[in-house]
């Protein structure tokens, strides 16, 4: 149940003159957009002399209170210390029950009370009580705060809301879909209070308009996660933060209203002329199709419906080292969300390093030459062959044995009935030099410490993840993941590629060429006759054990197997320009060619396609 009128009056009917910490209504609270490109927006607040209640909608670029309130004639600033607000905000500070220990406060350093300061960080998405000596304009620049807080149930909560200042909704319209804020039986709005111009808390009327950035006392009945009648949420984080490796984030839109709504999605303040955001949809054959996000797009949702937008970043389209923008989502009925967008890539001048790391993918062999094609010919000459007394056939003109040869063999690969898949591992260093791996293990290397001039132990090199192909190094390092309570390394292998190693320290095959779109990288694997995985060698078969009939004398019974491989890295995604949002940066594809000699009398040629994805940016092996 809501508090009785008497208790509400005791808690809320406080005038500015009767309470030292009473709060004055904001005369004007305007939220504008700065002209600066990127993530930052500007919130402008008109403060009046006395106390002001502010719902901060941006996280200041510098959160130091002395910087945030520089030039503003504040006497003190207060915010509740706990993550969840409670009625401690509005109790009369003259009463002994007022829990001042639960507050954080800041007083300008030139005032004696500054010695008690314990508010050192001004965060976005919080309510602040700001006491001013005189009227002033407070301007805060920072990242939009896109996060939702749970409600304290059966209590008043001091809270601001995602209001569109150009089209503010009424309290009844905004809270109508929430059973925690509207009586389900009578549809009456729970008690909500704001400050009147006279400085007294005043209960709002259902038809009153809400204001962006104003903090209201809202009574919440029972548990609730209500944010607004239409909601925008993210699959991860408090913004579209793709960092340097995350390819895709879901933006979920939901309509809690009783009528259909049309959402508008607009990208603002881009750090470059063209967008690097792409929206993913399913095309023909259930394949992904990625198209650049329009500057403005709309999504229609029926009552109670939700929709997930797949938003990815195209790092290859980022002109510099960082991409920033603001994604503004409106429902046309008074709700506005502003979502910061960030993504990173290395500068174009560091093209080789921009592709450094471990790439894992699949080769799809789709065509193989037919070594058994052509025509069989028995002794392709004009000699005469006659049987001898013991039944054998000899060449009467040259005494040569009977020979059967195949002529007209085509080396052109023929499409196979089904694809044959091979996993492939390629590591690229900071110079763009690729290496073919057959296995690699990710481990953790502890940091180092040094001793400073005072004899103190201080950190030197920080700990880091490393990639190891030299198995001798594994005991020196720690596991990178936890399994059954033990730290273990993460091992990745490609069994389709085996090759002799010059030394355990390398255990990789260098490839020629530069790892970049439009380039060709190549390498050759040569398996000697005595190599353990040579397909002709068999430990127990007498014809393939490289031993004579006495099983002691070495004799050559195998053949040198040579695999010549070529990876043609394509400039564009072969599935189409819209198939991959991050092609060329974290994903690359191309054509694969291989020629095998020694396995058959004639070379066997295969071809297909490959696709690689970068799973790690660790640029070195075996540190």
Tell me the average pLDDT across 438-451: 90
Which range, of 93-107, 314-328, 365-379, 439-453, averages the lowest pLDDT? 93-107
Q: Are 343 and 322 in contact (CB under 8 A)?
A: yes
**457 vs 620: CA distance, rounded Å:** 28
Q: Which residue, chain included where needed, has tokens 């009586």? A: 183
Q: How many CA atoms lie within 13 A of 171 on its CB side?
A: 22
Q: What is the mean pLDDT of residues 402-430?
A: 88
Question: 188: helix, coil or strand?
Answer: coil
| Residue 38 pLDDT exceeds 70 | no
pLDDT for 255 beyond 90: yes
Whether 104 has a pLDDT exceeding 60, the answer reads: yes
The better pLDDT of the pair 41, 5 is held by 41
pLDDT, the chain, mean: 82
Residue 395, judged by CB atoms within 10 A of its CB (0-12, 13-18, 19+), counts as middle
DSSP summary character for residue 248? E
pLDDT band at 617 (very low <50, low <70, confident <90, very high): confident
Query: With 60 as the cut, is the pLDDT of residue 116 above it?
Result: yes
Least confident segment among 17-31, 110-124, 166-180, 606-620 = 17-31
Pick the range with the lowest mean pLDDT from 33-42, 365-374, 443-452: 33-42
3-state secondary structure 201-212: EEECCCCCECCC
State the Cα–Cα distance between residues 312 and 309, nearest whole angstrom.
10
CB 204 within 8 A of CB 171: yes
pLDDT given at position 36: 42
Model pLDDT, residue 16: 32
Most confident of 177-181, 385-389, 503-507, 550-554: 177-181
Strand partners, 203: 193
**Higher confidence at residue 353 or residue 483?**
483
pLDDT digits (tens, 9 = 90+) for 565-597: 999 999 887 876 566 787 877 889 999 999 999
* Residue 180 predicted with pLDDT over 90: yes
Q: Give the range among 45-54, 83-92, 543-552 with minimum mean pLDDT.
A: 83-92
For residue 416, what pLDDT is reported?
Answer: 93
> Which pLDDT score is estimated for 388?
53
Burial class (CB within 10 angstroms; exposed 0-12, middle 13-18, buried 19+) of 47: buried
Per-residue pLDDT tens over the stretch 495-506: 899 888 776 777
pLDDT in tens, 184-219: 888 899 999 987 766 678 899 999 999 998 888 899
pLDDT at 259 over 90: yes
**Tens of pLDDT, residues 282-300:** 766 556 788 889 989 999 9
All structural domains of the chain, each given as residue ranges with its CATH number in brackets, are 5-220 (no CATH), 230-345 (2.60.40.2950), 353-368+416-438+494-616 (2.40.128.30), 377-408 (no CATH)
Cα–Cα dist 481/490, whole Å: 7
CA angle, 230 as apex, 227 and 235 as ends, to 5°? Answer: 75
Which pLDDT band, with edges at 50, 70 and 90, does 396 fall under? low
- What integer is the mean pLDDT of 448-471? 87
Q: Worst-scoring range by mean pLDDT, 43-52, 123-132, 399-408, 412-421?
A: 399-408
Specify the pTM: 0.67
pLDDT at 4: 39
Asked if pLDDT for residue 246 goes beyond 60, the answer is: yes
pLDDT of residue 94: 37
Model confidence over 339-348: pLDDT tens digits? 999 998 765 4
């Amino acid at each position: 149940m809501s508090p009785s009128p008497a208790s509400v009056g005791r808690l809320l009917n406080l005038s500015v003159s009767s309470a030292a910490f009473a709060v004055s209504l904001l005369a004007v609270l305007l939220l504008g957009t700065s002209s600066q490109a990127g993530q930052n927006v500007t919130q402008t607040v008109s403060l009046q002399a006395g106390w002001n209640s502010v719902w901060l909608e941006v996280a200041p670029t510098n959160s130091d209170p002395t910087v945030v309130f520089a030039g503003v004639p504040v006497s003190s600033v207060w915010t509740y210390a706990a993550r969840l607000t409670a009625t401690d905000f509005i109790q009369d500070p003259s009463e002994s029950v007022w829990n001042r220990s639960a507050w954080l406060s800041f007083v300008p350093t030139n005032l004696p009370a500054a010695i008690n300061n314990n508010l050192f960080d001004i965060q976005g998405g919080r309510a602040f009580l700001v006491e001013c000596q005189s009227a002033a304009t407070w301007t805060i620049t920072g990242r939009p705060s896109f996060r939702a807080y749970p409600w304290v149930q059966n209590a008043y909560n001091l809270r601001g809301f995602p209001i569109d200042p150009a089209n503010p909704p009424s309290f009844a319209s905004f809270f109508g879909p929430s059973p925690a804020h509207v009586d389900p039986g009578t549809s009456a709005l729970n008690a909500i209070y704001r400050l009147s111009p006279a400085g007294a808390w005043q209960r709002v009327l259902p038809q009153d308009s809400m204001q962006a950035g104003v903090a209201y006392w809202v009574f919440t009945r029972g548990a609730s996660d209500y944010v607004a009648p239409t909601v925008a949420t993210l699959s991860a984080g408090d913004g579209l933060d793709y960092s340097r490796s995350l390819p895709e984030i879901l933006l979920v839109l939901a309509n809690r209203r009783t009528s259909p709504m049309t959402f508008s999605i607009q990208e603002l303040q881009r750090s470059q002329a063209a967008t690097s955001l792409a929206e993913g949809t399913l095309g023909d054959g259930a394949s992904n199709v990625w198209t650049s996000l329009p500057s403005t797009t709309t999504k229609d949702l029926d009552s109670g419906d939700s929709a997930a937008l797949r938003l990815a970043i195209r790092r290859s389209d980022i002109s510099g080292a960082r991409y920033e923008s603001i994604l503004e989502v409106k429902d046309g009925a008074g709700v506005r969300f502003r979502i910061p967008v960030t993504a990173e890539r290395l500068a174009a001048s560091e093209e080789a390093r921009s592709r450094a790391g471990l790439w894992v993918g699949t080769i799809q062999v789709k065509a193989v030459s037919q070594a058994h094609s052509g025509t069989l010919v028995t002794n392709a000459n004009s000699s005469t062959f006659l049987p001898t007394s013991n039944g054998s056939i000899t060449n009467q003109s040259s005494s040569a044995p009977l020979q059967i040869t195949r002529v007209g063999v085509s080396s052109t690969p023929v499409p196979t009935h089904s694809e044959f898949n091979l996993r492939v591992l390629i590591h690229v260093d900071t110079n763009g030099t690729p290496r073919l791996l057959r296995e690699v293990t990710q481990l953790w290397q502890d940091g180092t410490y040094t001793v400073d001039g005072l004899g103190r132990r201080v950190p030197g090199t920080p700990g880091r993840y490393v990639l190891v192909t030299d198995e001798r190094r594994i005991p020196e390092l720690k596991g990178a993941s936890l399994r059954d309570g033990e730290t273990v390394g993460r091992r990745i292998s490609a069994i389709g590629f085996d090759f002799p190693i010059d030394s355990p320290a390398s255990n990789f095959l260098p490839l020629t060429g530069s790892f970049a779109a439009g380039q060709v990288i190549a390498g050759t694997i040569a398996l000697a006759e005595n190599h353990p995985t040579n397909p002709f060698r068999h430990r127990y078969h007498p014809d393939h054990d490289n031993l004579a009939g006495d099983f002691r004398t070495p004799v050559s019974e195998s053949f040198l197997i040579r695999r010549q491989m070529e990876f043609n890295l394509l400039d564009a995604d072969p599935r189409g320009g819209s198939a991959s949002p991050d092609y060329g940066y974290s994903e690359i594809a191309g054509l694969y060619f291989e020629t095998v000699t020694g396995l058959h009398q004639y070379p066997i040629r295969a071809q297909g396609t490959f696709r690689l994805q970068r799973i790690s940016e660790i640029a070195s092996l075996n540190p």
